[in-house]
A and B are shown apart, each in its own frame.
Chain A
Amino acid sequence: MQKIVLIENRKDRLGRLLEVHSSSRDLKNKLFNFKNLDIVDRENEFNSDDWDDYFKKFDQEDLIEFLEYDILLIHKSKISLEGHKNLDQFCRNNCKSIVYFSGGLTGITFINDGYPCLSMNSSIFYSFRLINFLEGNSKNPSNIMEIAYGKKWQLSNLLKLKYLIHQLIFSSELNIELETEIEDLIPIIEDSLRVQIPVDFETENDRNKLMIFLDELIRQKMIST
């Protein structure tokens, strides 16, 4: 079990999660009763001034209270540039995982530069996958990628890589954006699956080899999940 803290000043979003994902009506009880999850201002007593005061601790590097947590789930918009730097250092020094969510973020990005950092749009963050992640985590430690992609996040990443490479192979024009995306994704997959992906697009033979390799990885992952 990993200890998690959720810092969300916009309680309406939390409420929406409870309302929309109410396939079981005890969801609220469930969310509020996860032993591994602390929700800042769970009782909803903070006003906007209280929240402003609260977020100052990131600027002031007053982060001792987060030492007890393994994973920090934070609404990104309320954190200043200075606060980000401090959090970055704090997570790096103390081996913490961090998940940023915000309405202003596009898509999902994952970086492991000394510590795992996942960023995503709030609408992706507040899904039943968050509940599943918390539920799973209350028993065994889980990867934060599950919040974004669910339990089959490794398979999802493999399918994504295959898609992007496929797209790139059939593109006659240079596509820097696509290439960057592939370059970012490969180390994540290599790291999580402990494999070396033979990334070589030079000849048709190379490309075929790469596709066969990816198909085999997908097949293996399908079987294991």
Chain B
Amino acid sequence: MNTLLIHNDNLPQEVMDIFGDKKLKFDIQSSHVIEQDFTFDKYASAELGNVLKGQKFDAIYVVINLNKNDYLEFTGLSIANHIRLSHEWNHSHTPIVILSPYSIENVSRIANNYEVLYTPGIFFESEFTTETIEKIYEFIKGHFQVSNFNLLTEDDYQKYLKEVRIDPPGHYDGQHSIENELTLYHWSKSIGINNIEIENEIGPSLYFKFINQTNPVKTFSTQSDDKRSREQSFIQNLDNSVHDNKTEKGRILLIDDQWQRGWEIFYRKFPISIELEFEKIPIIKGDSYKKIQNLTEEKIKSFKPHVILLDLRLIDTDFNVGVQIQNVAGFKLLKYIHLHFPAIQIIITTASTKASTYAATMNYAFSYVQKTISIEAEKIFNKLKDDIETGVLLSSSLNDYFIQVKKIENNISSFQKETIAQIKHNLSISSELLLRAGKTNKTIFRSYSYLQLFHVLENFVNDPSVYKIENQSYFVINKNFKYLTVSGVKREQEEIGNSDIQYKRAVKPEKKKTGSKRGIDENFNLKNNYHTLNDKIIEILLFRHGMNDVNEKKWRNKKWYELNKLRNDFAHGKLANDIDLDSIQAIIEMIEYLTNENELTSEDLTEYDLSEKSYEDKLTALKKKFK
């Protein structure tokens, strides 16, 4: 008989003898099959490889129990799967006979990996006699084309792959989740990197072999035309400031406890169309969250990354069973970076498949890339590539915006508590909307973000240290100066179409209302007693900042009049396109200017306001005017 017997000296001697020297003994003592460190798989692969490679057996007989200390293991079934899944041994299509004293029904009920018993080319025999062994061999020879090396047809083999179930072994060796390792191996191989370390470590595992058969590695091809055109349109949608930054290299920071394992090499070699600089946080086993946060903060300050690739599980306790996402180091770090460095676009890279993890992280992250081999690598790569490139562009374009936000938050510290809270709240909404515009590529969010900044202006003018309304009198405040800019008196005679109060204003509008200077407007039209934000801002610019004309200052080459008109046009549906990033940048810079104490004038402008002046005051003012 040209057959191999796999045993542990646990068959009647006469049965053993008919196999001659074509026998392989598995002397298994401990319960390594059910361990998760692949000890058994490594041992089995080495032994089987030695015996099967270069041979051409017609059939392989395997005793179902090879571990004499654990009869629940059914090691023979694992051996059968190893043979089926290891093409390099040239016996993946060879008929296998399982020798078992138990009925197939009982084995099916007890064994975890019983499915192999019901696949083509597997025979199950309970009689341990030479006659039976020989009879089965004759049957196999008669029914399979022994002359042909591939004894099972390809259809049969596909049926086997469909029927059999090989579960992942969970987390082996602590942090190295098998899914993570497999993904790293597959992804690396897809772009031409052979991760020998992983291959040696998990290569002999049944799960690895199974995945390689059911989900073979495909080489990553370049992106589709459709994808390329989408990227082009995204770039065109961004404003000039982005184009200015196009020559800058994208800076990517990797935060992954498995960086040494191959993720760093993978990301460094990951094909991308923009030039990248790449750094990592050198996390080592046993690091605390605090240490990682400190390292991250230092690195962000020195390296100034545009995009951070962040794994969620970074420290030992993240791997505890039942750990809540809020307590996972990567999640805490995500919130920390988002809060302190909002311009950085964070891409979550994780093996987690939990919807709750996705939902929780996407409140703060730019994107979420799942480390998995269950989705075609090419699809994920295209997304990752797109996310990195978009993230870099977005980050470099938003950086100036967030610098202004930080400055404003510092500027407003002397405002009353309520104002501070409102401004911060509206700034954060505006920021989120802006980030969302980048994430979703929906420009409407940019317009919403712009509108939100006008709420910030409303909050600002409502602070009593900036503007005050007392009865029918409106005051601009500049530290110790309180300028009466609008005052109302009861009309002596009622006029049709006008309110019963006649207003006077210390601002003279220019024709076409596109500019304003200090002066007296004796018949100021304050519609329905409502003093608009635009009017208050004009008074603030003239009296708090001492401008002679509100048009003398521009932000990003845009006057206040234009910025306000843009807001009104959008609000009234008159705009054909959404508001561009440059206008958002202009308005945020203007808010920074308005809230900045250093920009306030120290000049006394009382002479220009509407307050009652003494004779001396009037004389001084006249002298000054004609000087």
B128's contact among A152, A157, A170, by CB below 8 Å, is which?
Answer: A170
A163's contact among B37, B65, B129, B316, by CB below 8 Å, is which?
Answer: B65
A8 CB, nearest partner CB in chain B, Å: 17
Give residues 117-136 of A contacting B (CB, 8 Å): 120-121, 123-124, 127-129
Asked if B106 and A123 sit within 8 Å, CB to CB, the answer is no
Asked if A148 and B69 sit within 8 Å, CB to CB, the answer is yes
Asked if B71 and A156 sit within 8 Å, CB to CB, the answer is yes
Asked if B72 and A171 sit within 8 Å, CB to CB, the answer is no
Asked if A124 and B30 sit within 8 Å, CB to CB, the answer is yes
Please report the C-alpha to C-alpha distance between residue A107 and residue B65 in the assembled complex, in whole angstroms: 15
Q: A20-B35, A148-B69, A170-B15 are in contact. Are A215 and B106 (CB under 8 A)?
A: yes
Asked if A107 and B29 sit within 8 Å, CB to CB, the answer is yes
- The answer to the question of A116 belonging to the interface, with a C-beta cut-off of 8 Å to chain B, is no
Asked if B129 and A170 sit within 8 Å, CB to CB, the answer is yes
- The answer to the question of A194 belonging to the interface, with a C-beta cut-off of 8 Å to chain B, is no
Please report the C-alpha to C-alpha distance between residue A172 and residue B17 in the assembled complex, in whole angstroms: 13
Chain B, Cβ-Cβ closest to A123:
B30
Asked if B173 and A22 sit within 8 Å, CB to CB, the answer is yes
How many chain A residues sit at the interface, stated as a range, is 35 or more
- The answer to the question of A66 belonging to the interface, with a C-beta cut-off of 8 Å to chain B, is no
Asked if A25 and B319 sit within 8 Å, CB to CB, the answer is yes
Q: A20-B37, A124-B31, A166-B101 are in contact. Are A218 and B321 (CB under 8 A)?
A: no
Please report the C-alpha to C-alpha distance between residue A159 and residue B74 in the assembled complex, in whole angstroms: 10
Give residues 272-314 of B contacting A (CB, 8 Å): none
Give residues 87-123 of A contacting B (CB, 8 Å): 106-108, 120-121, 123
Chain A, Cβ-Cβ closest to B315:
A25
A209 CB, nearest partner CB in chain B, Å: 16
List, in ascending order, chain B residues with CB within 8 A of A202's CB: none
Asked if A171 and B71 sit within 8 Å, CB to CB, the answer is no
Chain B, Cβ-Cβ closest to A168:
B12
Please report the C-alpha to C-alpha distance between residue A159 and residue B100 in the assembled complex, in whole angstroms: 11
Chain B 65-96 near chain A by CB (<8 Å), digits 1 or 0: 10011111000000000000000000000000
A25's contact among B10, B37, B101, B174, by CB below 8 Å, is which?
Answer: B174
Asked if A172 and B14 sit within 8 Å, CB to CB, the answer is yes
Asked if B72 and A129 sit within 8 Å, CB to CB, the answer is no
Asked if B319 and A167 sit within 8 Å, CB to CB, the answer is no
A222's contact among B14, B31, B109, B317, by CB below 8 Å, is which?
Answer: B109
- The answer to the question of B557 belonging to the interface, with a C-beta cut-off of 8 Å to chain A, is no
- The answer to the question of B336 belonging to the interface, with a C-beta cut-off of 8 Å to chain A, is no
A179 CB, nearest partner CB in chain B, Å: 13
Asked if A127 and B128 sit within 8 Å, CB to CB, the answer is no
Give residues 10-62 of B contacting A (CB, 8 Å): 10-15, 29-31, 35-37
Asked if B317 and A170 sit within 8 Å, CB to CB, the answer is no
A170's contact among B12, B316, B321, by CB below 8 Å, is which?
Answer: B12
Please report the C-alpha to C-alpha distance between residue A31 and residue B127 in the assembled complex, in whole angstroms: 45
List, in ascending order, chain A residues with CB within 8 A of B464's CB: none
List, in ascending order, chain A residues with CB within 8 A of B101's CB: 162-163, 166-167
List, in ascending order, chain B residues with CB within 8 A of A170's CB: 12, 15, 127-129
Chain A, Cβ-Cβ closest to B11:
A167
- The answer to the question of A34 belonging to the interface, with a C-beta cut-off of 8 Å to chain B, is no
Q: A127-B35, A167-B11 are in contact. Are A26 and B317 (CB under 8 A)?
A: yes
B133 CB, nearest partner CB in chain A, Å: 11
A-B CB contacts (within 8 Å), total count:
103
- The answer to the question of A150 belonging to the interface, with a C-beta cut-off of 8 Å to chain B, is yes
- The answer to the question of B102 belonging to the interface, with a C-beta cut-off of 8 Å to chain A, is yes
Asked if B69 and A171 sit within 8 Å, CB to CB, the answer is no
Give residues 249-284 of B contacting A (CB, 8 Å): none
Chain A 130-155 near chain B by CB (<8 Å), digits 1 or 0: 00000000000000000011101001
Q: A159-B72, A170-B129, A222-B106 are in contact. Are A123 and B29 (CB under 8 A)?
A: yes
Asked if B13 and A149 sit within 8 Å, CB to CB, the answer is no
- The answer to the question of B171 belonging to the interface, with a C-beta cut-off of 8 Å to chain A, is yes
Binding site secondary structure of chain A: helix
Asked if A24 and B110 sit within 8 Å, CB to CB, the answer is no
List, in ascending order, chain B residues with CB within 8 A of A162's CB: 101-102
Asked if B70 and A156 sit within 8 Å, CB to CB, the answer is yes
A172's contact among B12, B69, B320, by CB below 8 Å, is which?
Answer: B12
- The answer to the question of A53 belonging to the interface, with a C-beta cut-off of 8 Å to chain B, is no
Chain A, Cβ-Cβ closest to B15:
A170
A35 CB, nearest partner CB in chain B, Å: 19
A155's contact among B29, B103, B110, by CB below 8 Å, is which?
Answer: B110
Please report the C-alpha to C-alpha distance between residue A22 and residue B127 in the assembled complex, in whole angstroms: 41
- The answer to the question of B170 belonging to the interface, with a C-beta cut-off of 8 Å to chain A, is yes
Please report the C-alpha to C-alpha distance between residue A163 and residue B126 in the assembled complex, in whole angstroms: 10
- The answer to the question of A160 belonging to the interface, with a C-beta cut-off of 8 Å to chain B, is yes
Asked if B102 and A159 sit within 8 Å, CB to CB, the answer is yes
Asked if B15 and A128 sit within 8 Å, CB to CB, the answer is no
Asked if A121 and B30 sit within 8 Å, CB to CB, the answer is yes
Chain B, Cβ-Cβ closest to A126:
B30
Please report the C-alpha to C-alpha distance between residue A162 and residue B12 in the assembled complex, in whole angstroms: 14
Asked if B35 and A128 sit within 8 Å, CB to CB, the answer is yes
- The answer to the question of A13 belonging to the interface, with a C-beta cut-off of 8 Å to chain B, is no
Please report the C-alpha to C-alpha distance between residue A156 and residue B36 in the assembled complex, in whole angstroms: 20
Of the candidates A26, A128, A159, the one having the most CB atoms from chain B within 10 angstroms of its own CB is A159
Asked if B37 and A171 sit within 8 Å, CB to CB, the answer is no
List, in ascending order, chain A residues with CB within 8 A of B35's CB: 20-21, 127-128
B30 CB, nearest partner CB in chain A, Å: 4
Chain B 493-509 near chain A by CB (<8 Å), digits 1 or 0: 00000000000000000
Asked if B128 and A166 sit within 8 Å, CB to CB, the answer is yes
Please report the C-alpha to C-alpha distance between residue A162 and residue B317 in the assembled complex, in whole angstroms: 45
Q: A121-B29, A127-B30, A222-B109 are in contact. Are A24 and B320 (CB under 8 A)?
A: yes
Q: A124-B31, A219-B106 are in contact. Are A107 and B12 (CB under 8 A)?
A: no
- The answer to the question of A23 belonging to the interface, with a C-beta cut-off of 8 Å to chain B, is yes
Please report the C-alpha to C-alpha distance between residue A215 and residue B106 in the assembled complex, in whole angstroms: 9
- The answer to the question of A173 belonging to the interface, with a C-beta cut-off of 8 Å to chain B, is yes
Chain B, Cβ-Cβ closest to A129:
B31
B515 CB, nearest partner CB in chain A, Å: 68
B178 CB, nearest partner CB in chain A, Å: 11
Please report the C-alpha to C-alpha distance between residue A96 and residue B319 in the assembled complex, in whole angstroms: 37
Can you name 24 A-B pairs with beta carbons within 8 Å? A20-B37, A22-B174, A23-B170, A23-B172, A25-B317, A26-B320, A106-B29, A107-B69, A120-B69, A124-B31, A129-B31, A148-B69, A149-B72, A150-B70, A150-B72, A156-B71, A159-B72, A160-B71, A163-B65, A166-B126, A170-B12, A170-B128, A170-B129, A172-B14
Having A127-B35, A167-B12, A218-B106, one finds 11 other A-B pairs with CB under 8 Å, namely A23-B36, A123-B29, A124-B29, A155-B72, A156-B70, A156-B72, A167-B128, A170-B128, A218-B102, A219-B106, A222-B109
Closest 3 CB pairs of A and B: A166-B101, A159-B71, A170-B128
